[in-house]
């Protein structure tokens, strides 16, 4: 796992919430969208396949996008793994 799975990301709680919801409850390929009216940022988070690593961790690949002011600024992929506290570490 690299330290930086994506180049740009919103610091928004809206995005973090969408990521956790997608990873916990989202079907593979289901797009969870979010928007933050305070920062004019919006985006989506798509959880993909689920896999169990050799150390027993459950991980999911994901794709995410970020738009600022209606203009797409980034689309990246990565892998998130579930931590012992139940939260997903998306980087």
User: What kind and span of H or E run contains 30?
Assistant: none
Average pLDDT over residues 47-55: 95
57 located within any domain: yes
pTM value?
0.82
Would you say the C-alpha torsion 4, 31, 53, 11 has a positive or negative sign? positive
Residue 62, Cα to own-chain centre: how many angstroms?
6
Average pLDDT over residues 74-79: 93
- Cβ partners under 8 Å of residue 39, min gap 6: 10, 12, 68
pLDDT band at 91; cut points 50, 70, 90: confident
Helix, strand, or coil here: 16?
A: helix
Name beta bridge partners: 79.
Answer: 61
For the chain, percent of residues with pLDDT exceeding 90: 80
Q: Is the pLDDT of residue 71 over 60?
A: yes
For the chain, percent of residues with pLDDT exceeding 70: 88
Structural domains counted in the chain: 1
18 located within any domain: yes
Q: Residue 50: which domain range?
A: 13-89
48 located within any domain: yes
User: What kind and span of H or E run contains 88?
Assistant: strand 88-89
1 located within any domain: no
5-27 residue pLDDT tens: 334 555 688 999 999 999 999 99
């Amino acid at each position: 796992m690299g330290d930086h799975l994506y180049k740009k990301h919103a610091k928004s709680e809206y995005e973090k919430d969408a990521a956790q919801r997608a990873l916990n409850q989202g079907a593979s390929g289901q797009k969870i969208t979010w928007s933050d009216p305070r920062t004019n940022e919006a985006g989506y988070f798509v959880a993909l396949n689920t896999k169990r690593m050799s150390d027993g961790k459950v991980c999911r690949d994901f794709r995410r996008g970020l738009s600022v002011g209606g203009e797409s600024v980034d689309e990246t992929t990565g892998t998130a793994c579930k931590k012992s506290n139940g939260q997903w570490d998306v980087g």
